[in-house]
Structure 1
């Protein structure tokens, strides 16, 4: 059983997949990373000295940034769509 704060991967994959069986497209990966990033950000608000988690969070944000750069370089429409759907950037 998952706790109430766990990330529902199946729901996120179903929402952002581009075709059936899609788990590795940049959109799905970015959405999953965004969910984990927001979850860890909340964790770090209460546990300020958890530096191991902070390091993992920084790695995740860098990986998401690289995926977003890849998507922007190869397909601008998909890039604009994913940042709008996730509410990234202002």
Structure 2
């Protein structure tokens, strides 16, 4: 399982949060969670019986869902743009 390096995290926040130091932006946090979810999903494809990691994945998915709900209530255009950019909710 690969971990996110500082450079990768900075790149994610720069692309989605405006700038690399804006780690509090909702869009950047959602993008970071999506990156982590994709990595863990790939790990679980190989290790189907890793139930501890599966539980962690479900927690991350729930956290991302809460952040997306918050974003949709406060900034609907930003929400629509983000899910289009990340490829969520097909």
- What TM-score, normalized by structure 2, do the two folds share? 0.89
In the aligned structure 2, how far is the partner of 1:38 from the partner of 1:63? 14
1:81 aligns with 81
Show structure 1 runs of 4+ deviating over 2 A: 18-21
- What TM-score, normalized by structure 1, do the two folds share? 0.89
* Alpha-carbon distance, 1:32 to partner: 0.2
* Alpha-carbon distance, 1:11 to partner: 1.2
2:21 aligns with 21
Structure 2 unmatched runs, 5+: none
Q: How many residues align?
A: 87
Please provide the CA RMSD for this pair.
1.5
Structure 1 unmatched runs, 5+: none
Question: Counterpart of 1:71 in 2: which secondary structure?
Answer: helix
| 2:10 and 2:20 in contact (8 A); partners too | no
